[in-house]
Amino acid sequence: MMRDNGWDSLVEEVSNFCMKFNIYVLDMNHMYCPQGKSRRKAPKLTNFHYFRVDFFNTVIDLQLQEINSRFNEANTELLLCLVCLSPANSFSAFDKGKLIHLAQLYPFATTSVERAFSAMNIVKNQMRNKMGDQWLNDSLTVYLEKDVFNSIDNEPIIHGF
């Protein structure tokens, strides 16, 4: 969605900023010339292609990867539902369906969050205060999913190592 809708507003905002401060604005139809390369050996790209495809889309992809690594599917769904409550542009993102879905998820979400914070207080205490994020995440996963881990036989794991 950001790949499709965000480019035009970004270019407009940057252009307005540049005009306001009397900064030269590139013509997106001209050929892109990378710094430090000769024009003969440089790839034949327009400024539009370089900044939109090679730069803008790459940054969006990196941001999406970072978000996906930090939020599981349930959290992402909650965040997408919360967007409908944004007051930006006179609540233009309001969506009755998402609000109803959010209301249905809310009791589950608060229970899960409370359970996770309680577990975090047990797993990360004064004795283990310098625990890194990955180790904390792994420990919390094992603690929160202890029913699953208790059902796993330890012998094959021990023999594997």
Query: How far does CA 46 lie from the centroid of its chain?
Result: 29
Tell me the domain boundaries of the chain. 1-70, 84-161
Nearest-10 crossing angle of helices 96-123, 133-144: 100
| Residue 72, amino acid | N
- Chain segment 9-19, per-residue pLDDT in tens: 889 999 999 99
The answer to whether the predicted template modeling score (pTM) of the entire model surpasses 0.75 is no
- Among the residue ranges 9-18, 39-48, 115-124, the one predicted with the least confidence is 115-124
Q: Residue 25's pLDDT is what?
A: 93
pLDDT digits (tens, 9 = 90+) for 59-96: 989 988 888 888 888 888 888 888 888 888 878 888 88
Question: What is the pLDDT averaged over residues 107-114?
Answer: 66
Give me the pLDDT at residue 20, please. 95
